[in-house]
Structure 1
Amino acid sequence: MPRAFLGPRIRERRRGLGVTQADLARQIGISPSYLNLIERNKRTIAGPLLRRTAQALGIGLEDLDGAAERRLLATLSELANAPDLASLGVEAAAAGELIGRYPGWARAVAALARAERSATAEARALADRLTHDPILAETVHMILSRIAAIRSAAEILADYADVPPEQRDRFLGIIADESLALSHGGAALSEYFDATAADGRRLSPFDEVAAIFERREEHFEEIEAAAASAPGPEEHSVEAARGAALTRCGGPIATIVAAAPEIGTPAAERLRAALVDYAAAALLLPMVAFAPKAAELGHDAEALADVFGVDVSTVCRRLVTLREGPRFGYLRVNAAGSLLERRGLPGLFAPRYAAACPLWVLYRAQQSPETMIRQLAVFPTGDRFVFVARAGSVGPSGFGRPRHYLTDMLAMSESDARRTVYAPDAGARAEEVGPACRICSRAACPHRVDDALG
């Protein structure tokens, strides 16, 4: 764990107490020259010496070597290495010095960085929404159609003074009817935006359900408890497990749906179906057996599927629910690139209504079906993820029948990936990817198919 802030913090605390280097060195049993090296981060300090130093300075050990400072150091180091700041010559090695000497400024810079990242994520979601939201597109199309009808009728009345009275009344009726419809459409659009902003609802049942899973961090303890106390399905298959989930976990599922009155009826049905799938996976892969086996096998989705006799997609969904160990995200798309499922891993933006970056391995996997493919991806923000994707055929097969493929992808941060079998090879080159063309800042990308907003 980096301790680059320790030396400056010791120096600032010593100076604040009015203690000389010689006095402090004598109290902790080292030479003044060695203490000088420690304060300049030229020598490390730990163990009994660190404890004696904390006692001599009258502060707790955690104040010198606390988790909060380590998180702050990680944030500043990440900010210093952000591609957008590369031209500024940020002194990444001095992050610890900044924390040690000016902790308030360090926290302020980190807070601004987090706020910028949050605003960027919100802008991405808004850009995706404005560009691809079907409700917005349909309403705007209706408004433009009404405006065109009103304009056409008004131009006829303005250009032709000799329009017969019955025809004039007809055109005036068209203007009145279309104006009323336009007014209703504008009000509906305003209410749609106001309701979404007021209660945080997403754009569709898909997004509303995803929001509930996110709030619960992809884990429903009441379903886990019900599944753990019930016997597994008589037939070891996903369909049999879904049937068993309705009877053995129906109570917790109904309670969770009832506790989400803010979602509409379509979203409630989708939520119920998603929770049934969750319960089915919990019955097939009990956490008490799945978690240790996952750790033992390095979270290898294919190996776990063989051990438990289930498909890879069920294992992927179950990996997302783990409470300890690496954190996973899960995405599933069809051959058209439509996003069918999205679970877990905050910080990874996947457009809902637009295709994600075509460079994601998620879209490459269908070129090599039934094969797990790995990718070390770096985004324009500097965020680095490891993606592993596998395409598998679903539905009936046979001669003359087209094969239908769905692709499952696990996503994890690069640091978490190093705790799994999917750890990148030493010196592996990261592939430059983006979220989606409309919100990607890589201006020189040869695969861009649409201009970025702004």
Structure 2
Amino acid sequence: MSAQGKTGQSGSILGPRIRQRRRELGIRQSDLAERIGISASYLNLIEWNKRKVAGAVLHRVAEALGLTLEELDGATERRLVGTLTEIAHLPTLSGAGVEAGRIDELIGRFPGWARGIGALARAEREATARAAILSDRLSNDPFLGEAIHRMLTRIAAVRSAAEILTDYSDIPPDRRDRFMVIINEESRALSDAGEALATYLDKAEDPDRVMTPLDEVESLFETHGNRFEEIEEAGREVGGRLTASLTDPLPLSRIERARTLVDRHMIPVIDRTTEASAAIRTAPGRQRARRALSDYAVGTLLLPMDLFAPRARDLKYDVEALADLFSVEVETVCHRLTALLPGEGHPRFGYYRANAAGTIIEMRGLPGLALPRYAAACPLWVLYRAQQSPEAVIRQCVVFPSGARHVFIARARSAGPTGFGRPRHYLTDMVAMSEADARRTVYAPDPSARVDEVGPSCRLCPRASCAHRVEDPLLD
């Protein structure tokens, strides 16, 4: 069985976390079982991930161990499982014998080490990306080529004048002085050229950053379950007082008006949310987070949750029908779908946005659907081919090698200014849900619907016969 399959079977850090916490507190297994009202043998199965635990039993376990449910099995740890699974299959570790099937145990027993490994991997990825960017700039940037040429010319002039002064001791004083002036002038010019080059290469980024801004924002939204109650409350207050300014039926006009309201009345709560997050550590991350939270705030004004949630259920979460009903763009509806509370009977949605180059530029993660961070995602995802049919909503039913089944809904849209002779630039918005959740939506797959065999990425996919493979699998 592949390493990925083993990991998917255990699939939880709950067991190892319970076992490790119990040992740290010096509680015997039989004593803990008695406290929570189950047998010691059943607790043993839970601790070794042979049985699932949820509901009232999980609450009693957390209480007995002095932990919150988030501490026992939080979103951060689930995200870490996906990260470490990818790390375990990196090419540099292919011969290291990494026990990919025991990742959940590592996180449960040694959470600090697990986070440290993830941080080191992110730092390595960032350093590699910077080196690639710098290499590309050194090879192709005309400014760098000219700057380096100027520096080499100045260095040659200084060296030539210095060699003459060193090799010829009988040079007349006036000519010696002239050579000294040349060395001084060329040295100053060389210094100026070096300073200009350093300024050009300098970055405003934090050099100690180990997460990309996209990672930081994804972590912020994941920690909050894609929903920010303080911003929702602020949206209800602002929307209640200023609804009249949002009556223009033109979507773009309404969006711009909503953004004006956000800028005037909701920036303080957005800043508080950003500054309070431990996930946002860098200046670029803060900027991206503020933009993402501003978009979220706009959604609270255009699609108030007390109106949006029931209508979304009535329309079976049809993104186009909801966009028409509320006179907004489809991407705004997609954002709001991810903020619905599954506990209130709604499906759980994830959201992904890609540009024409296939780069993921925004995401609201879906538990159980990890997007690769160390390799390109599977090219068979509808996210990457929706731009062949712009403005059309396309459904894709998929099955992963692990057996997990999802439904993807993607739509490509034109972005930026348009007009005759202008090139069209497209972005693709994709909503993802589990197949079980999809059955409660208008996108429910019928028995005859085609199911595409996809993977997370070529590196992690064991489908050897896939005609679209570009890299060999790293799984055993």
Both structures adopt the same fold (TM-score exceeding 0.5) = yes
Alignment match, 1:122 = 84
| Structure 1: unaligned runs, 5 residues or longer | 1-75, 81-98, 144-163, 167-191, 197-201
- Taking the aligned partners of 2:45 and 2:452, their CA distance within structure 1 comes to 31
Secondary structure of the equivalent of 2:49? helix
Q: Deviations over 1:323-365 (max 9, x none)?
A: 1310000001011101011003112111246431111111121
Alignment match, 2:377: 356
Please point out which of 310, 313, 319 is paired with 1:292. 310
Distance in 1 between residues matched to 2:133 and 2:314, nearest whole Å: 55
Partner of 2:411: 390
Give the Å deviation of 1:255: 1.0
Aligned to 2:294: 276
Deviations 1:181-208 (A, max 9, x none): xxxxxxxxxxx99x78xxxxx6211111
> Which of 121, 125, 138 does residue 133 from structure 1 map onto?
125
Q: Does the 8 A contact of 2:213 with 2:288 survive in 1?
A: yes
Aligned to 1:107: 46
Determine the structure 2 residue equivalent to 1:399: 420
Once the two structures are TM-superposed, the CA of residue 132 in structure 1 deviates from its matched residue by 9.2
Native 8 Å contact 2:126 2:212 kept in 1: no
DSSP-derived class of the 2:447 partner: coil
Deviation at 1:108, TM superposition (A): 4.8
Paired position in structure 2 for 1:301: 319
Aligned to 2:255: 238
Counterpart in 2 of 1:318? 336
Q: Distance in 1 between matches of 2:281 and 2:422?
A: 39
Distance 1:450 1:130 in 2: 21
Distance 2:134 2:320 in 1: 48
Query: Is the Cα–Cα contact under 8 Å of residues 394 and 404 in structure 1 kept in the other structure?
Result: yes
Where does residue 444 of structure 1 map in the other structure?
A: 465
Residue identity in the other structure for 1:133: R
1:222 and 2:230 matched: yes
In structure 1, distance between residues paired with 2:80 and 2:290: 30
More RCO (CA 8 Å, sep 6+):
2
Equivalent residues, number: 310
- Give the whole-Å Cα distance in 2 for the aligned partners of 1:132 and 1:346: 25
Kindly state the Cα deviation for residue 426 of structure 1 after the two structures are TM-superposed: 2.0
Corresponding residue SS for 1:110: coil
Which among 411, 424, 449 is matched to residue 445 of structure 2? 424
**SS in structure 2 opposite 1:410?**
strand
Could you tell me the TM-score, scaled by structure 1's length? 0.61
Give me the whole-angstrom Cα distance separating, in 2, the residues matched to 1:449 and 1:416.
32
Distance 1:120 1:392, change over 3 A: closer
Structure 2: how far apart are the matches of 1:396 and 1:139? 34
- 1:212-257 per-residue CA deviation (whole Å, 9 max, x = no partner) reads 1100001010100011111245455223222211222122112112
CA–CA distance in 1 between the matches of 2:84 and 2:455? 16
> Who is 2:69 aligned against?
none
C-alpha spacing 1:263/1:452, structure 2 compared with 1 (3 Å): same
User: What amino acid maps onto 2:220 in structure 1?
Assistant: I
Does residue 248 (structure 1) correspond to residue 265 (structure 2)? The answer is yes
**Contiguous gaps of at least 5 residues in structure 2:** 1-5, 11-37, 53-72, 91-120, 136-162, 167-205
